[in-house]
Amino acid sequence: MEKTTFAEVEKQLLSHLSAANLSVDHLSQVSGTISKSYAAGLRIVDWWIYGIPAFERIVVQGQLPLTGAGALQELAANKLIKEIRMLRKGIPIPDFFQVDLTIEKITEQIPKL
């Protein structure tokens, strides 16, 4: 499966969320969360936005090599990520994690990341 680059994800994300009446600061925090996930080694395969135009959450599905498992601590520490689901995958030998991240709407003021 072809992996999506962060630039493509960011462009599509901002396009979809522009109708959600989110503040520029909120958009920046959501984009920053996805950017940090990508920088931590997660390679984004697909993503879904729920609640358009009223943004509720984004689910990002990606792959993380076993050697990048240390990045999970960084992802878990991010306050915007509400859920992380992980499955070990690979044929014939499991050599990566499929990771699903759920980023939810900010309901309270969260300090800048």
The first and second tokens of residue 45, run together, are 């395969």
Distance CA 101, CA 34 (A): 9
In a domain, 109, yes or no: no
Give 94's Cβ-side CA count (13 Å radius).
Answer: 7
- 17-70 confidence digits (pLDDT tens): 766 667 778 777 877 777 777 777 888 888 888 876 777 888 889 898 888 777
What does the pLDDT read at residue 3? Answer: 58
Give 70's Cβ-side CA count (13 Å radius).
Answer: 1
In a domain, 110, yes or no: no
What does the pLDDT read at residue 102? Answer: 92
What does the pLDDT read at residue 26? Answer: 77
Structural domains of the chain, count:
1
Residues 6+ apart with CB under 8 A from 35: 6, 10
pTM: 0.71
What does the pLDDT read at residue 1? Answer: 45
Range of the domain at 81: 6-104
In a domain, 25, yes or no: yes
- 71-101 confidence digits (pLDDT tens): 778 778 888 889 999 999 988 888 899 999 8
Distance CA 53, CA 59 (A): 16
CATH number at residue 86: 3.30.70
The first and second tokens of residue 59, run together, are 């689910």
